[in-house]
């Protein structure tokens, strides 16, 4: 049943869509990487409400057939940066482009009359970001979590801000009921050694109280060099980034078990939410933003140490009823709460135009 406040919101959103305001997004949509997938899903979300034009930072991107295919199937137009004309008051959202400030593009956008909104997905400031905020080149900063804001607030002090969380296109990650034997523990990330804890492979094997396979997607020569002290046995599958579609990989694992280098902290956790959508149960470390969207024991687990990881995995392995219930609930929460299209449409319209 639609309540009066819900109905009023729908009417307001419909009126907004009828006006078709324009949004410019600086960055490149894609299927790999937090920023690229964020742009892709934002265009999917907001393409029915706004006229969206993607600004490609370099003409080089026009030579990439994968990017061109992405742009052609999304509800947006695109232009490369040097072809931009004066657009007084137009809103430009820049998503986590590390060279955005040092390239001079932020300053150029302001000269052309754009209102510049910057979304940094990381837990550190990019080169030139602090000075750009200080000099008024950034009109608003977007944070994905309170955890992230606490780390970046000093850098962006005085700049208006909003919380947007992250939006994942849930239809791309359908729920899959697991029936693996042996069961599989795994994880996905970009191929970055810091994404893995110092004792990662030994940690995985030590927390597993049952016969299981270990599957990783996000591996490269640098990761292999970091763990050259460990002998990966036949239970291990180490795949490079994008070796297969993310949704297919997640359907192959039962538990999404994550650990990072102690120096790295996650500002949100896109891969975690993608895993939840498919019904893969997340077991996550403390000290990140995961506590903001995980209900412990209901949609996943936050673990303090290896002993707790092992205890929870043992319980889930032995209790099929609990395992299936948490799997279903993780998917429901991710789909209906964390990634609600109506909620995120309202959040993003307010953040961009409010």
What distance in Å separates the CA atoms of residue 310 and residue 301, rounded to the nearest whole number?
Answer: 12
pLDDT level of residue 8 (50, 70, 90 thresholds) = very low
Q: Are residues 151 and 178 in the same domain?
A: no
Q: What percent of the chain has pLDDT over 90?
A: 74
Q: Are residues 185 and 160 in the same domain?
A: no
- For residue 330, the model assigns a pLDDT of 97
Which range, of 27-36, 77-86, 110-119, averages the lowest pLDDT?
27-36
pLDDT in tens, 220-247: 999 999 999 999 999 999 999 989 999 9
- Is 2 a residue whose pLDDT tops 70? no
What distance in Å separates the CA atoms of residue 288 and residue 226, rounded to the nearest whole number?
Answer: 23
Q: Is 181 helix (H, G, I), strand (E, B) or coil?
A: coil
Q: Which domain holds residue 44?
A: 4-167+340-353
Q: Are residues 158 and 238 in the same domain?
A: no
pLDDT in tens, 260-302: 877 878 888 899 999 999 999 999 998 888 888 999 999 999 9
The count of structural domains within the chain is 2
Q: How large is the average pLDDT for residues 175-193?
A: 92
- Is 20 a residue whose pLDDT tops 80? no
Q: Are residues 199 and 151 in the same domain?
A: no
- For residue 9, the model assigns a pLDDT of 47
Q: Are residues 218 and 235 in the same domain?
A: yes
What's the mean pLDDT when you consider all of the chain?
A: 90
Q: Are residues 161 and 180 in the same domain?
A: no
- For residue 19, the model assigns a pLDDT of 63
Residue 82's CATH number: 3.40.50.2000
- Is 7 a residue whose pLDDT tops 60? no
Higher-confidence residue of 10 and 182: namely 182
- For residue 214, the model assigns a pLDDT of 98
Q: Are residues 250 and 138 in the same domain?
A: no
Q: Are residues 44 and 182 in the same domain?
A: no
HSE-up of 59 (CA within 13 Å, CB side)? 3
Q: Is 259 helix (H, G, I), strand (E, B) or coil?
A: coil
Q: Are residues 74 and 103 in the same domain?
A: yes
Q: Radius of gyration over alpha carbons of the chain, in Å? A: 21
- Is 156 a residue whose pLDDT tops 70? yes
Query: Among positive and negative, which fits the CA dihedral 142, 148, 154, 155?
Result: negative
Higher-confidence residue of 74 and 265: namely 74
- Tokens of residue 85, six digits: 């004309």
Q: Are residues 32 and 71 in the same domain?
A: yes
Contact at 8 Å (CB) between 162 and 140? Answer: yes
pLDDT level of residue 257 (50, 70, 90 thresholds) = very high
What distance in Å separates the CA atoms of residue 202 and residue 251, rounded to the nearest whole number?
Answer: 24
- Is 18 a residue whose pLDDT tops 80? no
């Amino acid at each position: 049943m639609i309540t009066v406040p819900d109905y009023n919101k729908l009417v307001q959103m419909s009126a907004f869509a009828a006006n078709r305001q324009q949004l410019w997004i600086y960055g490149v949509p894609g299927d790999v990487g937090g920023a690229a997938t964020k742009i892709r899903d934002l265009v999917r979300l907001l393409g029915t409400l706004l006229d969206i034009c993607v600004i490609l930072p370099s003409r080089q991107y026009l030579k990439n057939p994968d990017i061109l295919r992405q742009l052609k199937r999304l509800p947006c137009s695109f232009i490369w940066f040097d072809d931009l004309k004066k657009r007084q008051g137009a809103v430009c959202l820049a998503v986590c482009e590390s060279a955005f400030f040092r390239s001079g593009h932020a300053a150029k956008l302001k000269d052309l009359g754009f209102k510049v909104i910057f979304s940094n997905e990381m837990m550190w400031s990019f080169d030139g970001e602090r000075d750009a905020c200080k000099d008024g080149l950034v009109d608003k900063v977007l944070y994905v979590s309170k955890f992230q804001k606490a780390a970046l607030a000093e850098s962006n002090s005085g700049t208006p801000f909003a919380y947007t969380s992250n939006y994942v296109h849930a239809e791309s990650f359908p729920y899959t009921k697991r029936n693996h034997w042996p069961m599989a523990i795994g994880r996905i990330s970009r191929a970055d050694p810091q994404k893995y804890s110092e004792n990662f492979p030994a940690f995985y094997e030590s927390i597993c109280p049952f016969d299981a396979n270990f599957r990783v997607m996000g591996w490269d020569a640098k990761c292999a060099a970091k763990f050259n002290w460990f002998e990966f046995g036949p239970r291990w599958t180490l795949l490079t980034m994008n070796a297969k579609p993310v949704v297919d990989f997640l359907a192959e694992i039962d538990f999404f078990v994550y650990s990072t280098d102690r120096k790295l902290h996650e500002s949100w956790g896109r891969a975690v939410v993608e895993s939840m959508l498919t019904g893969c149960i997340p077991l996550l470390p403390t000290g990140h933003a995961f506590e903001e969207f995980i209900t412990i024991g209901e949609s996943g687990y936050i673990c303090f140490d290896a002993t707790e990881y092992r205890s929870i995995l043992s319980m889930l392995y032995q209790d099929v009823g609990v395992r299936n219930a948490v799997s279903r609930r993780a998917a429901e929460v991710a789909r209906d709460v964390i990634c609600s299209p109506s909620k995120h449409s309202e959040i993003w319209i307010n953040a961009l135009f409010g």
